[in-house]
Structure 1
Amino acid sequence: MANLILILGDQLSHHLSALEGADKDNDLVVMAEVHSEASYTNHHKKKLVFVFSAMRHFADALEEDGWRVHYQRYHPDNPAQSIEQVIAELAREYQPERVITTECGEWRLHEQISRWHKTLGIPVEIRPDTRFVCNIDEFARWAEGRKQLRMEFFYREMRKKTGLLMTSEGQPEGGQWNFDTDNRKKWAGKPPAPAPFREEPDAITTEVIELVNEYFSEHFGTTGNFHYAVTAEQAQEALAHFVDFALPCFGDYQDAISDNEDWLFHSILSPYLNTGLLDPMEVCEEAVRAWHAGRAPLNAVEGFVRQIIGWREFVRGIYWLLMPGYARENRLGNSRELPWFYWTGDTKMRCMHKAINATARNAYAHHIQRLMITGNFALLAGVKPEAICDWYLAVYIDAFDWVELPNTLGMVMHADGGYLGSKPYAASGKYIQRMSDYCGDCPYKVSSAEEDNSCPFN
């Protein structure tokens, strides 16, 4: 055998760099559901279902395409309980020339893989992850010598690099780079929010749901009403659904919060982008085509593109530039433990109750719920950054360390002292009242700060 090619659960792309130039007849693709990755945090049950099912579907697709695949399904009695143990067993059995993999999305795992050449006694080749617009070295060069790193200026560079929403003269479409000031409307029920894309569980997903219910019954959340895409083809359908039904209003209401709607006009594409089922450039190009066709306004499309080639790429760059020390940042000296109701939703604060319960149901909450509800409260309450970071990593279907940690530690908790964001996103109940309809039915008084029933955000 020539090589073992390791594909991780967030690398489900046929264009993965680890597969480039591979020999389908002699190389062996390795994928594994292992206890160490499924249990190092209290992963939401739906997140486990999504990742395991997507992995199984991808392995089947590889085999149909002529690849040789070794796939280990999860069982608590498997002799190999970590990725390294799986690779070590196969290395002993097949005596490969080398192990090939693509850059992973977590420093913890990166450190482990970087040592494998010593423990396995064979070369381990770690290839750049070409699924991103900006690679790790390019971001480091951009950051070098800058006193402050600001997403807006990085985003403009990515617009120029990709040509997205740029005129033939090299200027931004619409005469400005950013239309964020147009995207702050409160939603009062009209226009009606579309139903989210739904994919009913097939036999593979149903089998995974049963597995998660049996072996991960103590984990957060529920497997009930699972509806996420688990293949690239289904993810493309989810993209088309968003562009057709939600993108036209996404810009206006992207900061809105509703008591009655979990999804509003959000794309819910981040799980598919972060696992490789969707390509970020293809997603952005589809949105831009909708603008050119007059099917979506510029403020919506620009805001959507900014989230992907701006913010998503920026936080990844920050992560790999500053880790591992970044994870220990706590510039505000926060020391409180995470309140217990983050795991139960059992609180009289209506906004927190609704956001946490939606998270438990869906393994999802949109970015304003994460930043200005659950995150804002953690910041105001002085919760330890590592505690709230662990919670976000566990409960959200799209949370992988490279994207979750900078968003939470830097953007939510301002624990890096302003390296990622220019200011703390701390706000009183007045902000929540302005952007949502939570406060009218809340037992706490949003207009009061000093009474017994004053809004805790005040």
Structure 2
Amino acid sequence: MAGPVLRVILGDQLSTRLDIVDGADKANDVFLLAEVMAEASYVRHHVKKIAFLFSAMRHYAQALRSAGYTVRYVALEDDGNTQSLDGEILRAVDALAPDRVAVTEPGEWRLREGFEALRLALPAPLDILPDTRFLCSHAEFDAWAEDRRELRMEFFYRDMRRRYDILMQPDGKPVGGRWNFDAENRKPPKAGLDSPPRLSFRKDAITLDVLDLVRRRFPDGYGRLEPFHFAVTRRQALRELDHFIAHILPGFGDYQDAMVSGEPYLRHSLLAAYINAGLLYPLEVCHRAEAAFRDGHAPLNAAEGFIRQILGWREYVRGVYWRFMPDYAERNALDAHEPLPWFYWSGETRMACMREALSHTYDHAYSHHIQRLMITGNFALLAGLDPKAVHEWYLAVYADAYEWVELPNTMGMALHADGGLLASKPYAASGAYIRRMSDFCQGCAYDPTIAVGDRACPFNALYWDFMARHRDRFSRNARMPYVYANWDRMGADRQAALRDQAQAHVVALREGRL
């Protein structure tokens, strides 16, 4: 009789549809899940993120046991916990003497490299199985990317739509005659725009124990631990999906770019954390959104825009990550080296828009994608903040952040640090954009209509200074000639005043006065 297989489940792989679970022998194999300080602290994770994952892991282990599997679960404070994944795998191998060790490929390059190195230390073979939750394998993405001069998400997305027959007509054309309805998804906030009521799940004994653990062991952790509303089981995550489809999706499209004070969610889903941790599956979420459109419950621009984020963008950034790592993490095409300001952690800044977005992040381990891109990301781009420092901040503070999805979004989409591999132009904007798409400017210490002077919005002069210092790179960009035409019309005196103002903002940033 063959010996047991030790089957390792990581904290973001809480799915029962993975090969590592499907192939398990209930009578013989052992699942290992471990809470370890090395993973909980390699960046300054939001305390809500730690609590969400620990509680979800404990509930997942409970579900495995209820299904008849044997589980070796190592809690953070258990005696003998080595506080590292490698250490807990080695300790389990010593205790169980398995014939083989199996893991699902991790989502982060550092863990994949760690498992490759662990092979040399293990007395049993280590199998790294594919993560079949994703809809495009590494080989499939590489085949799509091969020989392409530009890796544009739009064309990848169209191929994925065809492949999975989502929002397609019988004749092979997209429903509605267009692939992309993004132009209809950019309405500024109307008066009274707010978020429909959101779910809050009952905290059972497991979650209460985890909250107590996080409160004790991470007293200086980033963020606000309570109130804690997260789903921590697949059943609860499915309820969150049902709620989104029924109550949120119909209004998602029109206002997905809008921002409103005191409203961290608006018409956005809260599903990314559950999809990325394995409690929901991307294809089931896409099918539910498509069904809502076909049933007449949600308009096409809402369903298409939402599906594009999952079937298109999510799979695309994962493909970019694995194709270009590890060098991708070191890119700094715009030569940006300004240190990350402390207010990214504290939220203490005179800029109302930054303060608002940062408060959402601190309170909820969440901020919707336009706030991430066009507020915190836009400021980092314009001010020339160091890409690696910004990347580590984004990775730490959001409950849905894992390096495979966060790094390309930060380095490519927000900071243009990859030199345009991911985005054809930098997502740079002045205070006028923030004023148009939000109510954040009301009551701010700075005026978005002023570019020079004591009350000048920092985004304004920083925007023009960014464009001026990178003119050699961007002036040939087909999407940006109007920017430089406007700059040239200003005249030398106005240009000098704007650049001097930008430098004054940088000095204030360094001195903690911004």
Is the TM-score greater than 0.5?
yes
Amino acid at match of 2:148: R
Question: Which secondary structure state, in structure 2, belongs to the residue aligned with residue 115 of structure 1?
Answer: helix
The one of 223, 234, 241 aligned to 2:243: 241
Once residues 106 and 76 of structure 1 are traced to their aligned partners in structure 2, the CA distance between those partners, rounded to angstroms, is: 26
- Corresponding residue number in structure 2 for 1:215: 217
Residues 1:77 and 1:42: Cα distance change in structure 2 (over 3 Å): farther
Structure 1 residue 196: Cα displacement:
1.9
Paired residue for 2:273? Answer: 271
RMSD of aligned alpha carbons = 1.0
Name the CA distance, whole Å, in 2 between partners of 1:341 and 1:76: 36
CA deviations 1:81-138 (Å, max 9, x no partner) are 1011111011112111111111101001110001222111321111111101101111
Letter in 2 for 1:17: D
Letter in structure 2 aligned against 1:328: E
Amino acid at match of 2:250: P
Aligned-pair CA distance for 1:255: 0.4
Partner of 2:204: 202
Contact 2:74 2:81 in 1 (8 A): no
TM-score by length of 1: 0.99
In structure 2, what residue type is equivalent to 1:320? W
Give the whole-Å Cα distance in 1 for the aligned partners of 2:231 and 2:153: 30
Q: Note if contact 2:100-2:126 (Cα within 8 Å) is conserved in structure 1.
A: yes
Cα 1:237–1:201 shift into 2, 3 Å: same
Q: What residue is the counterpart of 1:387 in the other structure?
A: 389
Q: Which stretches in structure 1 are left out of the alignment for 5+ residues?
A: none
Contact 1:49 1:212 in 2 (8 A): yes
Q: CA deviation at 1:78?
A: 4.0
Identify which of 31, 50, 53 aligns with 1:51. Answer: 53
**Structure 1 counterpart of 2:455, which letter?**
N
Q: Please state how far the C-alpha of 1:200 moved relative to its aligned partner.
A: 2.7
Q: Tell me how far 1:457 sits from its aligned partner.
A: 0.5
Pick the aligned partner of 1:409 from 408, 411, 414: 411
Residue 291 of structure 2 is matched in structure 1 by 289
Question: C-alpha separation between the residues in 2 aligned to 1:441 and 1:222?
Answer: 25
* Aligned-pair CA distance for 1:197: 2.2
Contact 1:200–1:226 under 8 Å retained in 2: no
The Cα shift of 1:263 comes to 0.7
- C-alpha displacement at 1:79, in angstroms? 3.7
- Which of 160, 173, 176 matches 1:174? 176
Give the superposition deviation at 1:194.
Answer: 0.3
Q: Given that residues 35 and 76 in structure 1 are in contact (C-alpha distance below 8 angstroms), is that contact kept between their aligned partners in structure 2?
A: no
Matched with 1:186 is 188
Question: Structure 1 residues 254 and 429 mapped into 2: Cα distance closer, same or farther (>3 Å)?
Answer: same
- C-alpha displacement at 1:10, in angstroms? 0.3
Q: In the alignment, residue 288 of structure 2 is paired with which amino acid?
A: E
* C-alpha distance after superposition, 1:419-445 (max 9, x if no partner): 011110010000000100111211101
Runs of 4+ in structure 1 over 4 Å off = none
Please name the residue that 2:158 is paired with.
156
Structure 1 counterpart of 2:111: 109
Secondary structure (helix, strand or coil) at the match of 2:102 reads strand
Question: Aligned residues, how many?
Answer: 458
| 1:399 alignment counterpart | 401
Shift of 1:161: 0.6
Structure 2 alignment gaps of length 5 or more? 461-514
Contact 1:62 1:69 in 2 (8 A): yes
Letter in 2 for 1:49: A
**Do the aligned residues in 2 keep the contact of 1:196 with 1:263 (CA within 8 Å)?**
no
Q: Which residue of 2 aligns with 1:64?
A: 66
What SS does structure 1 have at the residue aligned with 2:219?
coil
Q: How far is the alpha carbon of 1:76 from its aligned partner? A: 8.1
Task: Find the partner of 1:342 among 335, 341, 344.
Answer: 344
Cα distance in 2 between the residues matched to 1:340 and 1:265: 30
Percent identity over the alignment is 53
Counterpart check, 1:444 vs 2:415: no
Residue 36 of structure 1, aligned match among 35, 38, 48: 38
SS in 1 for 2:302: helix
Q: How far, CA to CA, are the matches of 1:420 and 1:196 in structure 2? A: 33
Deviation, structure 1 residue 16: 1.3
Instruction: State the distance in 2 between where 1:32 and 1:244 align.
Output: 36
Determine the C-alpha separation between the residues in 2 that align with 1:159 and 1:395: 32
1:67-82 pair list within 5 angstroms = 67-75=69-77, 78-82=80-84
Aligned partner of 1:148: which letter?
Answer: E
2:134–2:315 CA contact under 8 A, matched in 1: yes
Give the CA deviation at 1:191.
5.5
Structure 2 counterpart of 1:31, one-letter code: L
- In the other structure, the counterpart of 1:363 is 365
Aligned with residue 308 of structure 2, among 306, 310, 318? 306
SS of 2:252's equivalent? helix
| AA aligned opposite 2:216 | E
Q: Distance in 2 between matches of 1:194 and 1:365?
A: 16
Provide the rounded CA distance (Å) in 2 between the counterparts of 1:48 and 1:412: 25
Greater CA radius of gyration, 1 or 2? 2
Deviation at 1:75, TM superposition (A): 1.8
